[in-house]
A and B are shown apart, each in its own frame.
Chain A
């Protein structure tokens, strides 16, 4: 985070302050984007590889008549992927809006 700019009422300082604020906002936005990306990638990874790795153990459980591991591989995982994409588009829109609203 950049330090507070000193309050000298000149044009240069104002421009500098503005530029610093913009960079700080951009940095904040990128940090949040990265965090969201990592979190969603973790969900993606667990859905894709975790469920398959333990598929034999999960096969004993059942979900509305489907063996759980079969259902996850056939349809469940795909639906989770769709949810990941939905959350990403929605959250990123919020982040973009926050960035625009910040000074």
Chain B
């Protein structure tokens, strides 16, 4: 094994060296005047071809190789691959932006997404490795039995349902991100971008299953790491004279707090905020006077058009006046909705910026307590959700031994932390940069990256800047920025060459592709191994099993890509909810399956159902997108943290029903003893 480890290390060192040479060559070409769009193309195609090539080299149709990479991935490389599996487009692109926008509250994601690994290691991973089968439903079916012949088909199918629900929401978001990045950096159409990314995912997982995915993910992790660290280190040197951002941002934080205090009572800022408050009041007044105000507004717009037409204005002026009419709400109900949104948006912008490092600022103690409780609930759901995500747990099957599976979780968190410890630093550094060098600059001399990113998406601009109070100077309150732009624009904010922007895009693409790879495999394995082989046709030959699995992978990938190409806003906003759902449905059954012998078939079925139903009920009841309303919240907990109710419900029902029904069979007790016993 150590020879295998040395061989792998040699390969990946060579790979890293080649990647560095590729970067340097591109940087030199940029200096020679190669156009930017070519740099984007080169990055996109070079990385996609690379992933496909690794897939081709690792092609396999052996069952153990296809499902669990032959169970011989050394702990460190398994950790690296799991880290790439874990770091999704959301972690890479949105997390730093979330911290920028929400300050302390955003840290719930950092804590939740790292602390979950303690539960993975202590409660689940080593026992799954000892069990040594292929999927998560495998484990639950063997542990809880029941169904025809005690093979556990009902539990298995429920677990498959949970796996697919959770993974599918998640994979659509990844493929959406692939399309977004590819279309932004190469200028191809969004759907073309999706199918380009899909091609590389498919070549890789279709040919080589888990084996190819593992080795591709290690390569992707290296790109993700380099792409994230280079721009952050640059900013760190710029603002703190220290190339280690994780340490250096401590000295920037007090300076940022000072600047925040200054901006909070700056007279120009107050002026802009007052204008926004005024606008909000105008909408509030109109809302109060509905439906009369809607009628009056419509007549006024109509009058404007007539006036423009009468004074023989240019065609352009008439068109723009007509466009106002088209955009005007069609009915009083629509007006109520649109104006409420506008009022709230203006009110939000009238608020002074919250201090970045202060925990739970609020008007009074009760408001502050609500924010704290939501933070705690979100951390809880993200942690337990992490410990129940099938595509992460699946990776504990791929190590050579139980001991290595424990070490592998350690390496996983280590490699995740190389990125995650940098994210809070990046948020602070970018915030400081924007607060000091961008705010207060002249409108005539804004940096070029602003106009570039403002024009990428015209409908929902990623960044919009307008001179609200007309003084020609940029105030902080005049900037509206979307969190997603932060990481992608960091190289330009820091004034780095374009090749680094291309690198960051390649990093984001790698993050999205690696996660999508793992998720697609989790879904297709659940369908092919658990549904087809274990339930439909247990006599299938190994060759047939792998072929079916590959075909299903293809089908799932196309369905997911089709779903993503529809730009489903509702699915994307539900990705956070996947954690609550996974935690409520799978976590109680997984953890109690090892640590409580008395847990039985009926208990597991009832517990999984209860957790799922509680979680879904709460989301439907409180999430406005799903038709609920914030008024239905229990203890003011946001719908994303529905798991805080789902998990206790799942555990309580599992325990209660297990105690009311007969104890598990001796075979099950024997299995639990086997799981607990050392190797």
Chain A residues close to B by CB (< 8 Å): 26, 29-30, 33-34, 37, 40-41, 44, 47-49, 52-53, 55-56, 59, 64-67, 69-71, 73-75, 77-79, 81-82, 84-86, 88-89, 92-93, 95-96, 99-100
Contact = CB atoms under 8 A, between A and B. Distances in A.
Nearest to B421: A75
Contact of A89 (B359, B379, B403): B403
11 contacts: A26-B676, A37-B123, A48-B111, A52-B379, A66-B357, A70-B357, A75-B246, A75-B421, A78-B420, A82-B414, A84-B121
Contacts of B126: 92
A25 B676 CA distance: 12
Nearest to A47: B115
A64 B406 contact: no
Main secondary structure of the interface of A (DSSP, over half): helix
- Most chain A CB atoms below 10 A, which of B117, B359, B414, B421: B359
A56 B362 CA distance: 11
Interface stretch (B172-180, B250-258, B330-338, B612-620): B250-258
A88 B122 contact: yes
Interface in B164-216: none
A59 B368 CA distance: 14
Given A49-B376, A52-B379, A78 B417 contact: yes
B376 A53 contact: yes
A70 B403 contact: no
A69 B376 CA distance: 14
Interface in B355-386: 357-360, 368, 372, 375-376, 379-380, 383
Contacts of B417: 78-79, 82
Interface in B67-110: 104, 107-108, 110
Contacts of A88: 121-122, 406, 410
B678 A96 contact: yes
Given A59-B359, A78-B110, A65 B251 contact: yes
Contacts, number: 133
Interface string B114-137: 110111011100100000000000
A74 to B, nearest CB: 4
State the 7 A-B residue pairs at the shortest beta-carbon distance, nearest first: A55-B359, A74-B424, A73-B107, A70-B357, A89-B406, A78-B114, A85-B410
B264 to A, nearest CB: 17
Contacts of A82: 410, 413-414, 417
B679 interface: yes
Given A74-B424, A79-B417, 7 more contacts: A26-B673, A40-B118, A70-B357, A73-B110, A75-B421, A81-B115, A99-B678
A53 to B, nearest CB: 7
Contact of A33 (B119, B379, B676): B676
A81 B424 contact: no
B122 A56 contact: no
B394 interface: no
B677 interface: yes
B115 A77 contact: yes
Given A66-B253, A75-B421, A85 B117 contact: yes
B662 to A, nearest CB: 24
A48 B115 contact: yes
B407 interface: yes
A56 to B, nearest CB: 5
A69 B673 CA distance: 42
B104 A64 contact: no
A53 B375 CA distance: 9
B503 interface: no
A87 to B, nearest CB: 10
B409 interface: yes
B676 A65 contact: no
Contacts of B107: 70, 73-74
Given A26-B673, A29-B678, A74-B107, A89 B115 contact: no
Nearest to B107: A73
Nearest to B427: A74
Contacts of B114: 77-78, 81
Given A69-B359, A96-B403, A52 B410 contact: no
A67 B403 CA distance: 38
Contacts of B118: 40-41, 44, 81, 84-85
A70 B356 CA distance: 9
Contacts of A47: 115
B359 A95 contact: no
B117 A81 contact: yes
A8 B618 CA distance: 65
A86 B409 CA distance: 9
Contacts of A67: 253, 357-358
A84 B121 CA distance: 9
Contacts of A93: 403, 406
Interface in B415-442: 417, 420-421, 424
A77 B250 CA distance: 16
B253 A65 contact: yes
B408 to A, nearest CB: 9
Contacts of A53: 372, 376
B115 A44 contact: yes
Given A53-B376, A81-B118, A29 B677 contact: yes
Given A79-B417, A85-B413, A95-B678, A59 B122 contact: no
A85 B424 contact: no
B369 to A, nearest CB: 10
- Most chain B CB atoms below 10 A, which of A37, A86, A89: A89
